[in-house]
Chain A
Amino acid sequence: MTSREPLGQRGRLAAAVVVLVALSGLLVGYGALGPDPTENRYPGVETVGPDPDGYVGDPVVLAGQVTDTDPVTIRFGHPDGTGSVVVEGVDAAVLNRDRPVETGDNLAVFGTLVASDTLDAERAIVREPWENLYMYVVSALGGFWVLGRFLDEFRFDRTGYAFVPRDRRLSKRAVRRVLAGRGSAPSDGARGEPAEAGEGGDR
């Protein structure tokens, strides 16, 4: 699997730098774009939060946690602190629930900022607090699955400075060790784990 670098390691490094510079260019370039309703890009909490007066009369997307239901009020964090708005007409605007909004719900609202502290809701999405937690847990699970498979099936080849598939798969136990942060993955030549009694917590 150790075929030659077509452009040498220097050429490869140069290619990687070009890719990363181009990517940075995209991240900066997109950051330089302001909100633009003609491109369906609406300001969010990080833009509106520090300067709500500047967006009165504009369509915005604000998301936050419901702190009160009479009237419905959401609070959100932004770069300069926290802000809150009263959301009008939210129950009719909610797209994904039939029940009224409750305190503690996470609410994402598209609408017009009719005053610096009032949002006239047009479309809204409600999530219960556990739903976000569920998503994080399940997402972490997906991430660790992929990481585990990657460690199991690839190794870093120090002569070619590149990842290559392992010839033999790591033992499940070795993967657990690497994931737990103890020791690094053995390279192909090394044997997996000497099965010493008393080591490891799986018995």
Chain B
Amino acid sequence: MPDVLAHVLVGYALGSVLAARYDRLTSAHVSLVMIGALSPDFVKIGMVVPGPRIEALLGIPFDWMPLHTLGGSALVVAFGTLLVAPGMRKRTAALLAIGAGSHLFLDFLLLTPSGYAYPVLFPLTASQPPAPNLYLSTDRWPTVVAAVLAVAGWFVRSRSLRANRG
């Protein structure tokens, strides 16, 4: 989807539903889905340190774009997984990947000037597929929908927590 908040809300909703379904998952695990859902937007680092500036500095080609693609996102998830304790790595990898996947999918749907999406599958292919052109990153309604999903996720999870306690 559009803004970081919408992505994170969707991550919260997904994480909450998973936590409601699998008792072993805690709110820390919900956070991991949210971090994953945010992670492709690490590409926004380019707004602070533009790719061309790094090219000029290092004298080699450079573009932050792959952070917001299948391959780059997978590597970011792998790196994040290495930062947590060994006992929780499998679960962490899965939860981060679910979040990151939701982000990449929702951004694939964006309306773009050229009518083509970002290079979703890089480095498998750098080709940019036709975009469904559903919404803009500045549209408000996707964020509202994401918020409704998040509230629903919270509701589902708190009901399951109550059921476990009772």
Q: Which residues of A contact B (CB under 8 A)?
A: 1-6, 12, 15-16, 19-20, 22-23, 26-33, 36, 39-42, 46, 59, 61, 63, 79, 95-96, 108-110, 123-125, 127, 131-132, 134-135, 138-143, 145-146, 149-150, 153-154, 157, 160, 162-166
> Can you list 17 contacts pairing A with B, beta carbon distance less than 8 Å?
A5-B86, A23-B66, A27-B62, A27-B65, A29-B66, A30-B66, A36-B126, A40-B128, A41-B119, A41-B126, A41-B127, A59-B114, A61-B114, A140-B4, A142-B6, A145-B34, A164-B84
Cα of A108 to Cα of B64 in the assembled complex, Å: 20
Q: Is the CB of B65 within 8 A of A30?
A: yes
Cα of A153 to Cα of B138 in the assembled complex, Å: 31
Q: In the complex, what residue of chain A is closest to B38 when comparing beta carbons?
A: A146
Q: Which residues of B contact A (CB under 8 A)?
A: 2-9, 26-28, 31, 34-35, 38, 41, 50-53, 55-56, 60-67, 69, 71-72, 75-76, 78-79, 82-88, 111-116, 119, 122-123, 125-130, 133, 136-138, 140, 143
- Contacts A19-B79, A142-B4, A145-B8; is A160 near B85 (CB within 8 Å)? yes
Q: How many A-B residue pairs have CB under 8 A?
A: 176
List the B side residues contacting A3 at CB < 8 Å: 85-87
Question: What 15 new A-B contacts, CB under 8 Å, besides A3-B87, A26-B75?
Answer: A12-B82, A23-B72, A26-B71, A31-B63, A39-B125, A40-B129, A108-B113, A132-B138, A138-B3, A138-B4, A142-B4, A149-B31, A163-B84, A164-B84, A164-B88
List the A side residues contacting B84 at CB < 8 Å: 162-164
Q: In the complex, what residue of chain A is closest to B115 when comparing beta carbons?
A: A123
A105 CB → nearest B CB, Å: 12
List the A side residues contacting B5 at CB < 8 Å: 138-139, 141-142, 145
Q: Is the CB of A143 within 8 A of B4?
A: yes
List the B side residues contacting A123 at CB < 8 Å: 113-115
Q: Is the CB of A27 within 8 A of B63?
A: yes
- Contacts A16-B82, A142-B4, A162-B85; is A28 near B60 (CB within 8 Å)? yes
